[in-house]
């Protein structure tokens, strides 16, 4: 564990806090204004995060083509509405959207990334306690999807 101190302008603070949280497992961020009041000091108690999720190349190595998965997802939506294969549908849809987001110009904050994250959160909600066994699942929902997809496709 160590403490990080960052001095930044107030408009930059939210972006810096977000960036730090993607790299470190953090405690609460304490903010204190500087003497000039134009800047803020951020104090974060942190430890280096361990990447617990498989890389996309590993998770999706055995995945069908994106076109094929789009077709399956379109056909599977009807079954999902009728309560059949609900988890498989959301797992494959979240993985598909994650794969599409990875090809986007902005794979973290773009529209495709937003949709991928929303679908990943839906899968996490479906998995309930199982997902909560992975404390980083709420911080990195797309990582959780990659892990679950790799396990699922490996069992096919």
For 94-117, the pLDDT digits (tens) are 999 999 999 988 877 889 999 999
Same domain for 44 and 60, yes or no, is no
Q: Which residues of the chain carry a pLDDT beneath 70?
A: 1-3, 19-28, 46-51, 135
Q: Quote the domain boundaries for residue 34.
A: 2-48
pLDDT on residue 40: 84
The reply to whether 37 and 71 lie within a common domain is no
Domains held by the chain: number: 2
Are 142 and 83 found together in one domain?
Answer: yes
Sorted by sequence, the CB contacts under 8 Å of residue 8 that are 6+ apart come out as: 16, 39, 40, 42
- Both 109 and 126 in one domain: the answer is yes
- Are 12 and 71 found together in one domain? no
Residues 127 and 94 placed together within one structural domain of the fold: yes
Which is it for the CA torsion 130, 132, 134, 140, positive or negative?
positive
- The pLDDT of residue 46 is 64
Using an 8 Å Cβ cutoff, are 7 and 41 in contact? Answer: yes
Same domain flag for 43 and 66: no
% residues pLDDT > 90 (the chain): 41
Q: Is residue 42 domain-shared with residue 60, that is, in the same domain?
A: no
pTM of the model: 0.65
pLDDT of residue 23: 61
30: DSSP letter: E
Radius of gyration of the chain from its Cα atoms, rounded to whole angstroms: 19
CB atoms within 10 A of CB 11: 8
């Amino acid at each position: 564990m160590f403490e990080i101190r960052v001095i930044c302008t107030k408009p930059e603070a939210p972006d810096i806090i977000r960036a730090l949280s993607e790299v470190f497992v953090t405690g609460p961020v304490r903010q204190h204004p500087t003497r000039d009041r134009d800047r803020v000091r951020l104090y974060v108690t942190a430890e280096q995060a361990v990447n617990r999720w498989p890389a996309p190349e590993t998770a999706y190595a055995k995945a069908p083509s994106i076109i094929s998965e789009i077709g399956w997802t379109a056909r599977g939506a009807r079954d999902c509405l009728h309560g059949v294969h609900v988890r498989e549908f959301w797992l494959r849809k979240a993985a598909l959207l994650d794969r599409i987001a990875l090809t986007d110009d902005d794979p973290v904050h773009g529209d495709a990334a937003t949709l991928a994250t929303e679908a990943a959160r839906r899968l996490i909600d479906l998995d309930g306690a199982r997902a909560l066994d992975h404390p980083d699942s709420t911080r990195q929902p797309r990582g959780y999807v990659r892990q679950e997809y790799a396990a699922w496709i490996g069992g096919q």
